Structure 1
């Protein structure tokens, strides 16, 4: 197995956590990060920045005002594939000890990297009934740009109704900014938001109904999203299967009533219907990961456990639902996966090392040479847009303090 040279790109004390995808700028010159030193601490994190992949220069793009341990908090930033624009989670501005940052109290904020600190509210939030069409009243999370940079997917939890039921939603372009009444917890939005997954609390056994929709991806070359859905099998066991939904902005914009009324969650717009793709005996792995599309949109890649309970790569054919194992490693994958832009390779972490798997030849390269005693590699490795680099996070000991830093692998050196 080949080892590559690993560069520690970031040096300053302070966290440099990268999102699970979309961290490279469109020209691959910059990597966006947030200031977390702990994946669970978005609510306590105040900064989003970017680092130059050649020089290590860092620039602060956004810093919260009056940050405390209760919020507002920022994190999980990704670049648009087409513009020098980054999008990230932002907690509500008035977060305090009584109402801290929470999964139901956040939205997506964007920054043009040429205009730092000038936040752009992407999704509108309206908690004053009657609710404004195209708004939400909960929290959006883990935003993901479509390939053309026009649409944004996200997961959502409502603040007032069934707050524990996670859903998938989208933001689509609208002729005008979504304007809402001035009120505590409200903000305008550049894009029009809607929920596109149907969830219910108790799915019927053996049905296609789901109680949770989450951790989605855009299917390349299409207007579809693939997402994970928790359903019940014939025995009543909860398993996770792959679902898809076609995003039609015209249908979404035409159903103003989908915003819902007081005492309701937002509805799925008329004409938008989810479809079950996979039908398996065990479902997907319970390891947190996001679905990934092949470059041609034919397959969805995910993780599922083998007979030895090891996480392996699986793929589901979008047109038929055919589901099969792609890998048979003698170890268990321990991180989310990412597929190269060309669609020929997958990267992941296992046994505290970054790996590169060739989907056609089945060749596996271990790109790092850490032991289990070395400081932990965390999060998901991410390909650059030209597929010539992989960035990943690892703890580094800096003057006795463990700090999450960004490391970079040059794939041309393999």
Structure 2
């Protein structure tokens, strides 16, 4: 059974995760005309009964989008915010945007910006994207592009993964119209050399990250890693071809440790990107270069998602027949496990049931429930002529519903399906 929640003749855009409020009663969305057109003015939410509320309205030439909700109370929202007065401060771009925390209709800037040397620890120098709270509602992950590197050499403006922690507000000196304060201490946790060595674990792009476990994961020695992020990293094969693999970074348990620099400055230099805190090292989990179809797929676009107990990180990769399947791998590494053995390719991003054991995904033009252990698939919506939009299939925190998108009369609308 499925139910349509929005009906207005305009697009409604769900993010790929954290689209439900903590009480499972509202879905948050933005109103961009398409994913690639960042021109929406409002962040909104709709209830299970169809009631609509505006959460925030951008002003002064700015636009907003890609909204997610906090998994804990008090209810907060995260979003991308474009620059106000863009003719004076630069127009929206990957390296010209910021994250905001929205509460009671007010947007507070998340990531401070300092683009004038010598830069400020805890501030960034560019734009952040897809902001997602950790399961405890404390830390925030994001992807990042750097304005300093973009101006130095566009090929060195490499996508990276970062983390914002509520350690302290960051207030850099204001020497440029695009410099501003931020509520959180922000760092990058991935490393991307501009020219990865062929056949190595080096990457030049880190993206589509996801928090590992509700409380991290168990290491092989039985101890607990309390905080970690998995992400996709683009490696190079021995022949120099780009191959996307699964990576993980273990994060400090204490927020204060994010302010301890490693071998390179947290804030970066005029010739180098910001660097991870001391002890934060990325680790490669998958090694697929020799497979018939190497690497994770980029179509459908998807984000790595961990089982709630942190035991397995799910991703999409082709099987030997070229069919896109769900796979999983342990945070400690090892051989990937093929979860689905479907005759049809997976068609969307996906999410885990909040208690684990099953996933929601779109396949064969239907919303499907997948049993994680057996890979058995159960059709939750009838097969339609046009597949649901592949951007989202997100379980509610209470496990009752799955939110997804359909095209209706040329407009993207929000639907829910009953989970089982």
TM-score by structure 1 length? 0.90
Q: Are residue 204 (structure 1) and residue 225 (structure 2) matched?
A: no
Give the corresponding residue for 1:87. Answer: 78
* 1:135, distance to aligned residue in structure 2 (A): 0.5
Q: Is the 8 A contact 2:12 2:412 kept in 1?
A: yes
Task: Work out the CA distance in 2 between the residues paired with 1:101 and 1:302.
Answer: 30
Secondary structure at 1:251 match in 2: helix
Task: Work out the CA distance in 2 between the residues paired with 1:260 and 1:310.
Answer: 42
Secondary structure at 2:266 match in 1: helix
Q: Is the 8 A contact 1:134 1:193 kept in 2?
A: yes
Give the corresponding residue for 2:395. Answer: 383
Task: Work out the CA distance in 2 between the residues paired with 1:27 and 1:323.
Answer: 34
Secondary structure at 1:258 match in 2: coil
Runs of 5+ consecutive residues of structure 1 not aligned to the other structure: none
Give the corresponding residue for 2:279. Answer: 271
Deviates more, 1:230-239 or 1:57-66: 230-239
Change in 2 beyond 3 A, CA 1:323/1:361: closer
Q: Are residue 44 (structure 1) and residue 44 (structure 2) matched?
A: no
Q: How does 1:280-319 map to 2 (within 5 A)?
A: 280=288, 281=290, 282-287=294-299, 288-319=301-332
Give the corresponding residue for 2:56. Answer: 62
TM-score by structure 2 length? 0.89
Secondary structure at 2:259 match in 1: helix
Q: How does 1:5-404 map to 2 (within 5 A)?
A: 5-41=1-37, 43-53=38-48, 55-67=49-61, 72-83=62-73, 84-96=75-87, 99-112=90-103, 115-116=104-105, 118-162=106-150, 163=154, 164-174=157-167, 176-182=168-174, 183-220=176-213, 221-222=215-216, 223-248=227-252, 249-255=255-261, 257-280=265-288, 281=290, 282-287=294-299, 288-372=301-385, 374=386, 377-397=389-409, 402-404=410-412
Task: Work out the CA distance in 2 between the residues paired with 1:331 and 1:351.
Answer: 6
Task: Work out the CA distance in 1 between the residues paired with 2:388 and 2:343.
Answer: 21
Secondary structure at 1:136 match in 2: coil
Q: Is the 8 A contact 2:268 2:274 kept in 1?
A: yes
Runs of 5+ consecutive residues of structure 2 not aligned to the other structure: 217-226
Q: Is the 8 A contact 1:152 1:170 kept in 2?
A: yes
Task: Work out the CA distance in 2 between the residues paired with 1:125 and 1:224.
Answer: 25
Q: Is the 8 A contact 1:153 1:171 kept in 2?
A: yes
Change in 2 beyond 3 A, CA 1:376/1:360: closer
Task: Work out the CA distance in 1 between the residues paired with 2:350 and 2:24.
Answer: 20
* 1:77, distance to aligned residue in structure 2 (A): 0.8
Task: Work out the CA distance in 1 between the residues paired with 2:296 and 2:367.
Answer: 22
Give the aligned CA root-mean-square deviation in angstroms.
1.9
Give the count of matched residue pairs: 393
